[in-house]
Structure 1
Amino acid sequence: MDGTLHELANLDSIMIHKCRNLSQVFKNTSTNNFVPMLESLELYGLPALEEICKTDESWKSLKELRVRECSMLLKLPLSVQSADNIQSISGEQNWWNKLQWDDENLKMHLQPHFKPHDYRG
């Protein structure tokens, strides 16, 4: 597993499309900040996705998050501190409205960066 985590450390972009049974993107990650260079994360067509990961410490470089057709994803693995570099979050307005927040300050921090998109059609 150490080799895999080392490889993840160099990723700056991840796109996951149409994995219908995927319920968690990063499973069993015991280390914080395992994708320290990740700037862009795109999740599309993942109807079973419930969680990106358990920790909120891995997203300090994340600038762009795109979520589409991931209606079961109700929480983002972010904190006010780890969301500092976020420039853009895009997704369906209905998905954004259903998100659950542990910290209302985080929602207020991210709200200006959210760009709603209606992907039907």
Structure 2
Amino acid sequence: MEGGSGQFDPLPNLEYLDLHFVYNLKCVSHFGLYLGLRFSKLRHLHISKCASLTCLFNDGGACSVPKHLEEITISNCHQLVELFVQCSSSDQATLINSEIPRVRKLELYELPELGTLGEPQSMWEHLEELTVIDCDRLRKLPLSIQTSKNIKIIEGESKWWSQLEWDDDNFKSNLERCYKELS
């Protein structure tokens, strides 16, 4: 097996992945590819204090976004710019859309460079819980009226909530019922 190109997955039943203090980690998909991991059953991803992390998954490689991923928690990754890097071709956009249909819980803490969660909006249609603390550059949620039906809780600081940009004020009004202020 060379760089994950073989058919063998050394951890085929991996459901939980915690990565802490992995200083040279730039992208989880590259990490998986390097180790030959396919993340075919990954459900929970927790990452903290990975100083070089710039994105979680880059769909341009052989390791796509895990299709069973339900929960993502990221904290203190100060170089993280975006969760999912998407290639420009429509085939790649379709891949991401179909590969991450189940994220239900997303927690983001102290990510000063994070500017986007990722597109397309339909990727977040199962999202139920969102927590955002100290992510001041995150100004827009990739949600629409159609994709936000399942949202139950949005937690965050009042300053962040008030600075969010909305395409439609009615949409903001609809989501305010879910918002809970955290100090």
CA contact (8 A) 1:33 1:57 kept: no
Q: Which has the higher contact order (CA 8 A, sep 6+)?
A: 1
Q: What is the percentage of aligned positions where both structures have the same residue?
A: 38
Question: What TM-score do the two structures reach when normalised by structure 1?
Answer: 0.89
Runs of 4+ in 1 over 6 A off after TM superposition: none
- 2:171 equivalent in structure 1: 106
State the superposition RMSD in angstroms. Answer: 1.3
- 1:87 equivalent in structure 2: 152
User: If you compute each CA radius of gyration, which structure gives the higher value, 1 or 2?
Assistant: 2
Residues matched between the structures, number: 116
1:110, distance to aligned residue in structure 2 (A): 0.6
Residues of 2 paired with 1:27 and 1:39: CA distance? 20
Residue 23 of structure 1 pairs with residue 88 of structure 2: no
1:105, distance to aligned residue in structure 2 (A): 2.2
Cα gap change, 1:59 to 1:33, in 2 (>3 Å): farther
Task: Map 1:4-43 onto structure 2 (within 5 A).
Answer: 4-5=64-65, 8-28=66-86, 30-31=93-94, 32-43=97-108
1:33, distance to aligned residue in structure 2 (A): 4.5
Structure 2: stretches of 5+ with no match in the other structure: 1-60, 88-92
Structure 1: stretches of 5+ with no match in the other structure: none
1:59, distance to aligned residue in structure 2 (A): 1.1
CA deviations over 1:10-66 (Å, ceiling 9, x no partner): 011001111101111111161324321111001111000111113111111110000
